[in-house]
Chains A and B, each alone.
Chain A
Amino acid sequence: MRHQGRRLVTAVATLGLSCVVAAGELPTDSLYRLHVSLETQAAQQVGLDLYRGHTTLISMFYGSCPAACPMLMTSLQVYESHLDEAARARLRVLLVSFDAARDTPQQLALLAEQHHTDSVRWSLVSAAEPDARRIAALLNFRYRRLPDQSFDHSLLITLLDPEGRVLATTQTLVGDTAFEAKLAAATAAPAAADKVPNR
């Protein structure tokens, strides 16, 4: 692990201030201000702002987690199942693994398949250290690698607006009605934009 840590430290030093700020018009309270590199199921590098422009649910997990992570996936699917089809179509789901060593693109793809996630609107990605730690820091998500290579970690789902601002969080996997209401409101038809025919 220290081997890897050292390389990463070097990489970070080379990148300079990788976590500093960006471009243009992002609000100061946007989580998309953090610049990190995520690897997708398709082995592409993307940023945390992958779904900028869409209401997004974001959480962290690790794929070999025996219990809570399958529950997290199911929970997200249940939360979005309460939306009508049009609202669901506006929603995106970003799941970030903090176990990049084991959650390879192939493994992420397998997980997505096992859970029948909607590949248009869902992405399973992994973040290596130190980016994973930074994303967790940003989300107020906690995780710790244990000697047996499992993790202790938070259960936390965060709802972001299209500009990456936090609208709501929940630590309840099923039935947080206040969170459901905010999710519904955030994915409701935009008043003006919706009148423009899509196609």
Chain B
Amino acid sequence: MKPPGVRKVRRTNISFVALLAGVLLPGAAIPAVADNPFVAVAGAEFRSALPARPQAPVTVQRFMLQQHAVTNAEYLEFLKTHGEWRRDAVPVVMADADYLSHWSGTLDPGPHAAPLQPVTRVSWFAAVAYCEAQHARLPSWYEWEWAAAASARQRDARADAAWRQQVLDWYSQPAGAVLPAVQQGPANFYGLYDLLGVVWEWVEDFNALLPADADPEKFCGNGAQNLEQKENYAVLMRIAMLGSLRASDTGRALGFRCARDAAGSP
């Protein structure tokens, strides 16, 4: 595999500037909370990077996915009406000690959590509860993987070397101290933003993704190994990362967005 970050994509530099502006000027002319509509993703049969036995395409039904990651502003609105998820109220079995720890107060995101930045340091349980409150759910891994396979022009760009390099370039940017605001990168085929560029995202069945280093003696079944599509590095990293998490874990670059079944879909 080529070392990442060899070629830079101009567009990402622009987004980096935009993110700096957003961070350096918190509170200054910040637009109202961006609408975060649910965008339709057409169903498909595709080959997942996850192993299956027998190796066969998986089917994703048409579904709806939020346009961008849930933001601090959106999450704050949720906390105002769901006090049990405030960081001083949530049980430790459902969110670890770092849950929203970068916020200034329980209901005050403060200077390190700008309104339009993705909310991070949220546990899987918290993400599930947030989505339920929107009458939604987290996307499944297959849904997320399929939505994230799209480039700006193609539904499935995973075999496109240029697109893969672009994804790797995103990953190779320094982690930095601050997260970009949402929707600074390009929209993909469906009009979804930042699936691969900005934060890791929880999926509903994250604990169906067995750790890549799973000890076969500690698992029942032999599909745990041998991830497919080894060239699809960015997705494999996701699987490995999500597969290593506990549901109460939080992370500074770990956020989420919600999904819904498509109305009228079979």
Contacts and interface: CB of A to CB of B under 8 A. Distances in A.
A, B in one complex: yes
Interface of A: 2-3, 5-6, 9, 12-13, 16-21, 28-31, 33-34, 65, 67-69, 130, 133-134, 136-138, 140-148, 150-156, 171
Given A147-B56, A154-B219, A13 B125 contact: no
Nearest to B128: A19
Contacts of A142: 207-211, 219, 243
B153 interface: no
A28 B125 contact: no
Given A13-B135, A17-B133, A143-B208, A65 B94 contact: no
Interface stretch (B21-29, B69-77, B220-228): B220-228
Contacts of B205: 133, 144
Contacts of B91: 21, 28-30, 33
Contacts, number: 122
B266 A2 contact: yes
Contacts of A16: 132-133
Nearest to A172: B218
A23 B202 CA distance: 28
B129 interface: yes
Interface of B: 52-54, 56, 58, 61, 82, 84-85, 91-94, 124-125, 128-129, 132-133, 135-137, 204-211, 215, 218-224, 243, 246-247, 260-261, 265-266
Given A16-B132, A144-B208, A153-B220, A2 B93 contact: no
Contacts of B243: 142
B102 to A, nearest CB: 21
B220 A155 contact: yes
A147 B54 CA distance: 7
Contacts of A133: 204-205, 207
A151 B221 contact: yes
A135 to B, nearest CB: 10
A6 B261 contact: yes
A146 B220 CA distance: 12
A151 B220 contact: yes
Contacts of A5: 261
A148 B223 CA distance: 12
B261 A9 contact: yes
B204 A130 contact: yes
Contacts of A154: 218-220
A138 B207 CA distance: 10
